[in-house]
Amino acid sequence: MSLDERQRRILESIIKDYVATAEPVGSRSVVRKHALNISAATVRNEMADLEEMGYLEQPHTSAGRIPSEKGFRYYVDCMMENENPTDEQIELLHQVLEDRVQEWNDVVQGVGHFLSQVTNYASFIIVPSVKLSQFQNLQLIPIQEGQALVLLITDVGLIMHRKINIPKSIMPDDLQFISALFNRVLRGKRLKEIKRSDLMTLRDELKNRRHIIDKALEAVDNLLSNSSDERVVISGALNIIKEPEFKDLDKLRRILTLLEEDGQLREVLPDHISDTVDILIGQENRSEDIREMSLVMAGYKTGSEMGKIGLIGPVRMEYWKAAGTVESVRQVIEEILRKRNS
Amino acid sequence: MSLDERQRRILESIIKDYVATAEPVGSRSVVRKHALNISAATVRNEMADLEEMGYLEQPHTSAGRIPSEKGFRYYVDCMMENENPTDEQIELLHQVLEDRVQEWNDVVQGVGHFLSQVTNYASFIIVPSVKLSQFQNLQLIPIQEGQALVLLITDVGLIMHRKINIPKSIMPDDLQFISALFNRVLRGKRLKEIKRSDLMTLRDELKNRRHIIDKALEAVDNLLSNSSDERVVISGALNIIKEPEFKDLDKLRRILTLLEEDGQLREVLPDHISDTVDILIGQENRSEDIREMSLVMAGYKTGSEMGKIGLIGPVRMEYWKAAGTVESVRQVIEEILRKRNS
DNA sequence: ATTAGCACTCAAGCAAGGAGAGTGCTAACA
DNA sequence: TGTTAGCACTCTCCTTGCTTGAGTGCTAAT
């Protein structure tokens, strides 16, 4: 059932051609472009065989062949060599990110932009929920008469804050005392595991400063409940408008909506993450809605949790380039995260 | 040159019909739908007059009429009554924003979402640059062994922060001292007016703590140069995909790109802001790129600066609804800002 | 001033025909 | 046995011409 060398070369020719042009590929153009020493007729015979085996298909009798999803899968699994971004591109990415190591949002933005720019596909980045990180440190900081800032810092260095009003009678020392109290009770807990009951025990401990404690509790509660769940950031969604497979306005709208509407993409991505590059082609996708798209993605480790980056494009995708880019970017991200946490 | 009552009613009929259906309106459907006591032939005569005056145009001889941009302009200026959102909708908006008053980003998000949801057009919000606000307060806060947080607070209550490494020998008191120093020099300056020279004088003042000062200076410098300029946030860009005038893929792509690509929309908007609702129809727009779109927008005051909100849609727009919604939302925003700064 | 009637115009939709690309099959060839 | 040239066949796409229907402008009657 496996292919001989000539069949593989023909399959590859067809894939490269079809990916580039989005047109069915005829026997003549296979010999013309790839100068194998065989005639078009021979290629036709091989193509018929490849079709029978399911690697190619024919839109209609008198058209050329296009690779089937099985054909792409075979190519990806058995023949493909990743095409990495150029050194200049990687350099560029580093430069863009260098200034922003501290601003995780900007990093994500920059990475997404890079992915979609380089590949011309839509990119996505999944950032693990803040709620999975741990409470490290809380501080109440006086900022002006009658106001204080509640500052909450997590183990991965994320900083959240909220302003509260406080009675003017409260002294900085009081604030420090209260901060310490918070820290004692909450340190090391995962944010999502901090329950209202924890906050309540806190409240009971210090009856005489009830008012300010309440304010602080409220702020913390608010911070926790407003802190984002897993976030999905998408870049370059408009790239898909160029693909001829979406010249149908209705299809286009469905896909763009899927990409733009918050959370919709998340529904559609597989849960499993490996730390190598995963590729899902067309029908291999779990969800109906992207059965005519392909995914190329990889996981990255941020502390104890995993995030994902990836590309989404038509089945007729430059998998080699997509996979190479995703892998390179994954490495850069992990490097940055290492730098950031040190 | 001004229109008599009957002409106005005919113009209105045609506008309402055309906006609803995107099809040229014939004389028959004018009488049918709006039961004036006149015949189609009479309407035809009036329509010919209106066309001569430039309020209507005819795509081709045997089609109905469509309103010209001049026609829309006349309607907007002389006949239109705003259609405000329902009380439930306004209530909804308040609810959505209530929890988020402190998180300006979320407010902007929510407002944009509301605007585009209610009107089915793309919305934009321009947030004035942080750099225009004033330095109010800087604090250096120890967060763990060897690390401190530089906290910068502006007059409108915006909080920026950056982590720095510090020698372990530095005590909290040192940090406070340095903070005070910063505050003395910088208080009240506009962020964008803080020059490197200011920072340098600071540096010279305190030679013996040079190292930590340098770190802090670097952090502040970094915060200032990375703080965003005027920001443009767009919501519901995909709404325009529904409009039949953009069934042409190429047009659609141009507009969507304009909307999605950072900063492109800003280029295209007029600089002038009034605090009532402004409407720009098609060719009235400064920029070539949106000469087939219309803008409905208004300014809102945030402290001493002005921001803008608005809608962007096809010339065939429900101006009444757009204007009503923009105006209502403007009021809600100002209300929120008032609450927030108090 | 309004209206009915009618000839005229034009876009959109449909069918028929030709061109072109590409196939599968057959028969000849190494 | 594998390869190749040749040829008839198929199917899409494009063009052309025709028909249909909506809507107009003009004229003559009210």
Judged on CB neighbours under 10 Å (0-12, 13-18, 19+), A288 is exposed
Distance in angstroms: CA B58, C1' C13: 22
pLDDT band, very low/low/confident/very high, at A165 (cuts 50, 70, 90): confident
**Cα-based distances in Å from A50 to A14, A337, B145, B336:** 11, 46, 66, 66
d(CA B30, CA B53): 19
Question: Is the Cβ–Cβ distance between A186 and A194 less than 8 Å?
Answer: yes
Question: Is the Cβ–Cβ distance between B33 and B26 less than 8 Å?
Answer: no
Q: What is the rounded average pLDDT of the residues A170-192?
A: 84
Judged by a CB distance cut-off of 8 A, whether residue B238 touches chain A is yes
HEC states along chain B? CCCCHHHHHHHHHHHHHHHHHCCCECHHHHHHHHCCCCCHHHHHHHHHHHHHHCCEECCCCCCCEEECHHHHHHHHHHHCCCCCCCHHHHHHHHHHHHCCCCCHHHHHHHHHHHHHHHHCCEEEEEECCHHHCEEEEEEEEEEECCEEEEEEEECCCCEEEEEEECCCCCCHHHHHHHHHHHHHHHCCCEHHHCCHHHHHHHHHHCHHHHHHHHHHHHHHHHHHHHCCCCEEEEECHHHHHHCHHHCCHHHHHHHHHHHHCCCHHHHHCCCCCCCCCEEEEHHHCCCHHHCCEEEEEEEEEECCEEEEEEEEEECCCCHHHHHHHHHHHHHHHHHHHHHHHC
Which nucleotide is closest to B25, CA to C1'? D23
Residue A238: both structure tokens together: 């408009």
d(CA A152, CA B220): 21
Nucleotides in chain C with any atom closer than 7 Å to protein CB: 2-5, 8-11, 20-26
Judged by a CB distance cut-off of 8 A, whether residue B233 touches chain A is no
SS3 A214: helix
Q: What is the pLDDT of residue A134?
A: 85
Q: B307 has which bridge partners?
A: B300
d(CA A178, CA B316): 60
CA distance A145 to chain B (A): 12
Q: What is the rounded average pLDDT of the residues A240-266?
A: 90
Amino acid at B42: T
- Using the structure block, give the residue that is written with the tokens 């009021």: B331
Judged by a CB distance cut-off of 8 A, whether residue B162 touches chain A is yes
| Of B341, B330, B191, B333, nearest in space to B273 by CA | B330
**If you average pLDDT over every residue of chain B, what do you get?**
89
Q: How many residues are recorded in chain A?
A: 342
pLDDT band, very low/low/confident/very high, at B304 (cuts 50, 70, 90): confident
Tell me whether residues B159 and A149 touch, CB distance under 8 A. yes
Residue B105: both structure tokens together: 């980003």
Q: What is the pLDDT of residue B211?
A: 75
Residue B314 in this model has a pLDDT that exceeds 90: yes
Query: What percentage of chain B exceeds 70 in pLDDT?
Result: 95
SS3 A68: coil
Q: What is the pLDDT of residue A218?
A: 81
Q: How many residues are recorded in chain B?
A: 342
pLDDT band, very low/low/confident/very high, at B125 (cuts 50, 70, 90): very high
- Using the structure block, give the residue that is written with the tokens 């994902």: A308
Q: What is the rounded average pLDDT of the residues A285-292?
A: 94
Tell me which chain A residue has its CA closest to the CA of residue B225.
Answer: A99
Question: Is the Cβ–Cβ distance between B94 and B332 less than 8 Å?
Answer: yes
pTM of the model: 0.89
Q: What is the pLDDT of residue B342?
A: 61
- As a 3-state breakdown, chain A gives helix, strand, coil percent values, each rounded to 5, of 55, 20, 25
Work out if A28's Cβ lies within 7 angstroms of strand C.
yes
Judged by a CB distance cut-off of 8 A, whether residue B237 touches chain A is yes
Q: What is the pLDDT of residue B207?
A: 64
Question: Is the Cβ–Cβ distance between A309 and A95 less than 8 Å?
Answer: no
- Cβ-Cβ contacts under 8 Å for A110 (sequence gap 6 or more): A93, A96, A97, A100
**If you average pLDDT over every residue of chain A, what do you get?**
89
pLDDT band, very low/low/confident/very high, at A314 (cuts 50, 70, 90): very high
| Of A181, A44, A149, nearest in space to B141 by CA | A149
Closest Cβ–Cβ partner in B99, B159, B226 for A99: B226
Q: Between vectors from CA B66 to CA B63 and to CA B69, what angle results, nearest 5°? A: 145
pLDDT band, very low/low/confident/very high, at A1 (cuts 50, 70, 90): low
Q: What is the rounded average pLDDT of the residues A41-53?
A: 96
Closest Cβ–Cβ partner in B144, B153, B222 for A143: B153
Question: Is the Cβ–Cβ distance between B324 and B89 less than 8 Å?
Answer: no
Query: What percentage of chain A exceeds 90 in pLDDT?
Result: 54
Q: What is the pLDDT of residue B186?
A: 85
Question: What does the pLDDT look like over B277-295, one tens digit per residue?
Answer: 999 999 999 999 999 999 9
Residue A207 in this model has a pLDDT that exceeds 70: no
φ and ψ of B61, to 5 deg: -50, -45
Q: What is the pLDDT of residue A142?
A: 87
pLDDT band, very low/low/confident/very high, at B249 (cuts 50, 70, 90): confident
d(CA B136, CA A124): 38
Residue B105 in this model has a pLDDT that exceeds 90: no
Judged by a CB distance cut-off of 8 A, whether residue A149 touches chain B is yes
Which nucleotide is closest to B27, CA to C1'? D23
Counting other chains too, the contacts that B153-156 makes at CB distance below 8 Å and 24 or more residues apart are B153/A143, B153/A149, B154/B130, B154/B191, B155/B303, B156/B302, B156/B303, B156/B341
Worst-scoring range by mean pLDDT, A102-111, A172-181, A205-214, B309-318? Answer: A205-214
pLDDT band, very low/low/confident/very high, at A342 (cuts 50, 70, 90): low
Which nucleotide is closest to A24, CA to C1'? C22
SS3 A78: helix
Listed by range, residues with Cβ under 7 angstroms from strand D are A 37-42, 45, 60-63; B 24, 26-29, 40-41, 44, 47-48, 51, 58, 61-65
Distance in angstroms: CA A195, C1' D19: 76
d(CA B224, CA B132): 11
Q: What is the pLDDT of residue A103?
A: 78
Question: Is the Cβ–Cβ distance between A299 and A308 less than 8 Å?
Answer: yes
Q: A190 has which bridge partners?
A: A134
Q: Between vectors from CA A319 to CA A318 and to CA A321, what angle results, nearest 5°? A: 70
Tell me whether residues B141 and A141 touch, CB distance under 8 A. yes
The answer to whether the Cα torsion of A87, A88, A89, A90 is positive or negative is positive
Residue B146 in this model has a pLDDT that exceeds 90: no
Judged by a CB distance cut-off of 8 A, whether residue A252 touches chain B is yes
Tell me whether residues B237 and A249 touch, CB distance under 8 A. no
Instruction: Specify the higher pLDDT residue, B304 or A309.
Output: A309
Work out if B101's Cβ lies within 7 angstroms of strand C.
no
Q: What is the pLDDT of residue A189?
A: 83
Residue A154 in this model has a pLDDT that exceeds 80: yes
Distance in angstroms: CA A53, C1' C30: 29
Instruction: Specify the higher pLDDT residue, B283 or B191.
Output: B283
| Of B3, B121, B13, nearest in space to B67 by CA | B13
Closest CA to the C1' of D9: that residue is: A62
Residue A268 in this model has a pLDDT that exceeds 70: yes
Distance in angstroms: CA A225, C1' D24: 65
Tell me which chain A residue has its CA closest to the CA of residue B152.
Answer: A143
Judged by a CB distance cut-off of 8 A, whether residue A161 touches chain B is yes
Residue A256 in this model has a pLDDT that exceeds 90: yes
Question: What does the pLDDT look like over B18-68, one tens digit per residue?
Answer: 999 999 999 999 998 876 788 999 999 999 999 999 999 999 999 999 999
SS3 A25: strand
Residue B320 in this model has a pLDDT that exceeds 90: yes
Which nucleotide is closest to A26, CA to C1'? C22
Report the residue of B97, B107, B159, B222 to disrupt the A interface, i.e. the one with the largest count of A CBs within 10 Å. Answer: B159
d(CA A150, CA B161): 13
Worst-scoring range by mean pLDDT, A93-97, B36-40, B74-78, B237-241? Answer: B36-40
Most confident of A57-66, A96-105, A215-224, A262-271: A57-66
Radius of gyration for chain B, computed over Cα atoms and rounded to the nearest angstrom: 27
φ and ψ of B234, to 5 deg: -115, 140
Residue B111 in this model has a pLDDT that exceeds 80: yes
- Using the structure block, give the residue that is written with the tokens 């999905």: A232
Tell me whether residues B237 and A260 touch, CB distance under 8 A. yes
d(CA B43, CA B33): 13
Instruction: Specify the higher pLDDT residue, A184 or A21.
Output: A21
Work out if B207's Cβ lies within 7 angstroms of strand C.
no
Which nucleotide is closest to B38, CA to C1'? C2
For A13, the enclosing helix (H) or strand (E) is: helix A5-21
Closest Cβ–Cβ partner in A143, A238, A249 for B260: A238
Residue A47 in this model has a pLDDT that exceeds 70: yes
pLDDT band, very low/low/confident/very high, at B215 (cuts 50, 70, 90): confident
Distance in angstroms: CA B63, C1' D23: 6
pLDDT band, very low/low/confident/very high, at B1 (cuts 50, 70, 90): low
pLDDT band, very low/low/confident/very high, at B208 (cuts 50, 70, 90): low
